[in-house]
A = this chain, B = another copy of it.
């Protein structure tokens, strides 16, 4: 049975991410992941010693992906609104699959997590917020985007609209998320 699937580790991360977004961090077990991948829970423990280690690796993945996106956006000529769409699109995808963003999900379980994870999720938020803030500032400078608050405040308003928007949509319907997304963009375009 050795090395039957060299990508099990990546698969575990994929399923773990899905479960956190769909059920919540404290609502799934290694057995759930194992069942999904047709392996035993011992195999999951082999790749990630404990659930916290899996969560850490997952957040690391997010950080890497956003750092990659940051580099791509830096050397591209797309408009500020185009860049913003890059930040909004993941939320729209989550909404479609009745899932919520990993930060919102983890926020609920935050006080049950070890300090190491808390610090990591904080770093992820700083990274994303910084990127959105910068995009907003650029768009405003070029006259492409319109808002009266500071870029940082506006970023906070937009990201909380999106995060809670997908949470609300899960309960009261996807239409509410769509209303929020469209209103956001409309206001930014002035």
Interface of A is mostly: helix
| A87 interfacial by beta-carbon distance below 8 Å | no
Q: A156-B180, A161-B160, A171-B121 are in contact. Are A107 and B112 (CB under 8 A)?
A: no
Smallest CB separation, A54 vs chain B (Å): 17
State how many angstroms separate the Cβ of A102 from the closest Cβ of chain B: 10
A27 to B108 alpha-carbon distance, docked (Å): 10
Task: Tally A residues with Cβ within 8 Å of B.
Answer: 45
Q: Pick out which of these stretches binds chain B: A8-16, A18-26, A62-70, A136-144.
A: A18-26
Q: Is the CB of A109 within 8 A of B24?
A: yes
Q: Does A163 contact B (CB under 8 A)?
A: yes
Smallest distance from the beta carbon of A1 to chain B beta carbons, Å? 32
- Given A153-B179, A156-B176, A156-B179, A100 and B109 contact (CB-CB distance below 8 Å): no
> A60 at the A/B interface (Cβ < 8 Å)?
no
Answer whether residue A172 sits at the interface, using C-beta atoms and an 8 A cutoff.
Answer: yes
If the complex has contacts A108-B100, A109-B24, A118-B171, are A160 and B153 also in contact, measured as CB distance less than 8 A? no
Residues of A at under 8 Å CB distance from B? 22-24, 26-27, 98, 100, 103-105, 107-112, 118, 121-122, 125-126, 129, 148-149, 152-153, 156-157, 159-161, 163-165, 167-168, 170-172, 176, 179-180, 183-184, 187
Q: List 24 A-B contacts (CB under 8 A).
A: A22-B111, A23-B109, A24-B109, A26-B26, A27-B109, A27-B112, A100-B107, A104-B107, A104-B167, A105-B108, A107-B167, A108-B109, A108-B167, A121-B171, A122-B171, A125-B168, A156-B165, A156-B183, A157-B183, A157-B184, A160-B160, A161-B161, A163-B164, A164-B167
